[in-house]
Structure formats: C-alpha cells, structure tokens
Amino acid sequence: MLESLPCRRMQNRQDLITLWLMRWLAAMIVLLLILLVILLCKLALPAISKFGLGFILSDTWNPITEEFGAFPFIIGTLITSFMALLMAAPLSVSVALFICEICPKQLGRLLGTFVEMIAAVPSIVFGLWGIFSLAPWVQNVVTPFLKNTLGFLPFFQGPSYGIGVLTASLILSIMITPTICTFCREVFNTIPSQTKEAALALGATRFEMIKIAILKPSYSGMIAGIVLGLGRALGETMAVAMVIGNTSRLSLSIFAPGSTMASVIANEYAEASNAIHLASLGYIALLLLAITLIINSFARFIIWKWTPKI
C-alpha cells in the first residue's frame, strides 16, 4: 500500500512542475532559517566584537555607560525555567497518566481538551492575571508560608513585592503544563494494551502496572516531552516580562525581582537609543535562539532515536 505518492520515475510534465515548485519553496524555507541566523548575527556583530564571549559572564547592564553583559538574564531564564519544570513536569506526567489510565474515556477526552485550552490562552492574558491576581496571592500567602517553613535557606529570604522570580516561575509552570501533558499522553497511548493486560494478569496492582508497563518503556518519551516544555519555557516572553519585575540585579532570593533574556528584549528593544544597546539585545536574542534550537533539537533527537523502539 502506498503511504504517499511515488515520486520516482515521474514523467508527467504537470507533476514535475508541481514537485519542483514544492522543492523550491521548501528550499526557500530552509534558507529563511539560515537567513534568520545570519541576520541576527549581523545585528549583534557590534556587541560581539566589542564584548566577545565575556558578554555571557559579565553582570553589568548599563545603557548609560554602554556596558553590557547577559549574565543576569541568562541566570534568570535558567532559574525560572527550571523552577517551572520542577513544578510542571510531575504534575503533567500524572495528569497524562490520569487521563490515559484512570478516568473514563469520555471524561479523559474532556479533561485533555481543557488542558489544551490552557495552551490557547494568550500569554498577555496570563500576564495580566499574574499581575493582578497571582502576584498578591504569592505575596500574601505563598511567601509567608515559605518563609516560615524554609526561611533558614538564603533562597527564601528577603522581602517580597509579589512580583518576582517565584511568580514568573509559577506562571511558566502553568503555561508549559499542556505542552508536556499532551506529549506524554501521546507517548502513553502508543503502549499496546496487551502489555498492560499482561502486567495485570501477573497480579500487579494498578500502580505496579503503570510503573512497569507504562512509565518504564516511555521513559525517554517523557524526557523528550519535558525537554520540549523546557524549550517553551525558555522562550516565553510577555507573561514573564509582566510579572518578573525587570531588574538586571542578581539576587539569591526567589522572592526578588529578576529578568529573563526574553523579557529584557521585550522591555528595552523598542526604546533602545544607541547602536551598541540594540546590538547587545540582538546578542541576547542570538544566545536565546541558540539555546532554544539546541534544546529543541535535543528533544527531536530523543524522539527520533527512541520512538521506533516503544
């Protein structure tokens, strides 16, 4: 049976035109990606030649004295993304398990649609809700709780203004849950029911069946889903820009305001006055692009390597 149309030995002229047109368009899209990278490099060139690789580790960001370094933003991006993953990954996996294995099929489908709806909510709405609803809650409920229980650690000290790294991570964790959850559901659905039935027939409880027959074989698939979620979190802009507080000062406390690579671009790009400021923001965008491309390629690599074996 044909999966797709045979493309060898085509003689019809119309077909050849179609194929070559499509090939040409495809080549244009590939070139567009290359062009994107080249143009971004060109935009960042003044900053690259002035600051070099030291840009990544320098923590001064001063548009007036024209000294720029991306360290606070890289750290901010990494911290918010990993905190978001820490919260979202276990939740997403267990929701996916709940949908696939525990609740009735109809209800599961409804719940799945609900989860995907989260992904459809525009990030600006998340941001607005974050400022007016989540931030006060973080300030008045979460912060005192964390201070009372874990306050001896340096990460949980200092004043909270509601707006800060913790709030941004919470918003991010909500936003990446659908990405991970939907992907994990697809992975869990590929497991044949015979495998599950075999585990149950051997006397395993539901929990043991899930552990042996579902979680173990789909381990790499789950990792791929989590990495895709990480890619989404790294690039998220508006919601984070609205609730993180936007300061280039580094702080150990998760209650303090911070900044991420995407948020600093969103805040300063349209108002950047001098060329080197613009170039530095371009440099940050280039770094962000590099990180997300690597993360996403890594996820695709895991998928490509493991999917046939499941």
Partner 1 sequence: MIWRKTKNYFFITILTLSGIAVLIPLILIIIYVIKMGFSSLNWQFITHLPRPVGESGGGMAHAIVGTLFLVGLGGIFSIPLGIMLGTYLSEFKKDKMAKFLRHTIDLFSGIPSIVIGIFAYILVVIPFKHFSALSGGVALGIIILPIVTRTTEEILKLIPGTTREAGLALGLNRTKIIWHILIKGSRAGIFTGIILATSRAAGETAPLLFTAFGNSYFSFQLMQPMASLPAQIYTYAISPFADWQRQAWAGSFVLIIIVLGLNLSARFFMRQKS
Footprint on residues 170-189 left by partner 1 (CB under 8 A): 174, 177, 181
- The minimum distance between CB 153 and partner 1, in angstroms, equals 25
Binding status of residue 2 toward partner 1 by CB under 8 A: yes
Binding status of residue 53 toward partner 1 by CB under 8 A: no
Footprint on residues 87-116 left by partner 1 (CB under 8 A): 91-92, 94-95, 97-99, 101-103, 111, 113-115
Binding status of residue 65 toward partner 1 by CB under 8 A: no
Q: Strand, helix or coil at 141?
A: helix
Binding status of residue 45 toward partner 1 by CB under 8 A: no
Q: Strand, helix or coil at 98?
A: helix
Residue 222 burial (C-beta neighbours within 10 Å; 0-12, 13-18, 19+):
buried
Between residues 108 and 217, which has the closer beta carbon with respect to partner 1?
108
Please list, residue by residue across 232-267, b when 16 or more beta carbons sit within 10 angstroms of its beta carbon and e when fewer do.
Answer: bbbbbbbbbbbbbbbbbeebebbbbbbbbbbbbbbb
HSE, side-chain direction, 13 A CA sphere, residue 277: 16
Footprint on residues 257-286 left by partner 1 (CB under 8 A): 262, 265-266, 269-270, 281-282, 285
- The minimum distance between CB 155 and partner 1, in angstroms, equals 24
Contact 78, 262 (CB under 8 A): no
Stretch that binds partner 1, among 66-74, 139-147, 247-255, 291-299 (CB under 8 A): 291-299
CA 44 to chain centre: 24
Q: Strand, helix or coil at 217?
A: coil
Near partner 1 by CB under 8 A: residue from 79, 184, 187, 238: 238
